[in-house]
Amino acid sequence: MGDSRADGVEHRAIDTPDQDRSNNSEVYTRKGRAEVTYRLSESNGETAVTMRVEGYPPAPGFLADFFATELADYAESQQ
């Protein structure tokens, strides 16, 4: 079983991270299931996150909003 959160997002890792710092996860929400792939890259002291969310609506849109909010909150907390 994956990790579950109060906001209804549960994830389960499909692959382990490789040297490129990427990961694939199956994500279950109240809005449906999706596969999420992300890659982290560093340049000039900054870290960029590239995400791909695949699934049937409305799960991808819900997860895109969820991750955008989480990443923005995290970035703000680091300033």
Compute the CA torsion angle 42, 43, 46, 49 (nearest 10 deg).
-50
CB-CB contact of 36 with 24 (8 Å): yes
> What is the domain range of residue 17?
3-77
List pLDDT tens digits, range 4-46. Answer: 555 666 655 555 444 457 788 899 999 999 999 998 888 888 8
Q: Check residue 16 and report its DSSP letter.
A: -
The pLDDT-based confidence of 68 (bands split at 50, 70, 90) is very high
Output the furthest CA–CA distance in the chain (Å, rounded).
39
pTM exceeding 0.85: no
- State how many domains the chain has: 1
CB-CB contact of 34 with 24 (8 Å): no
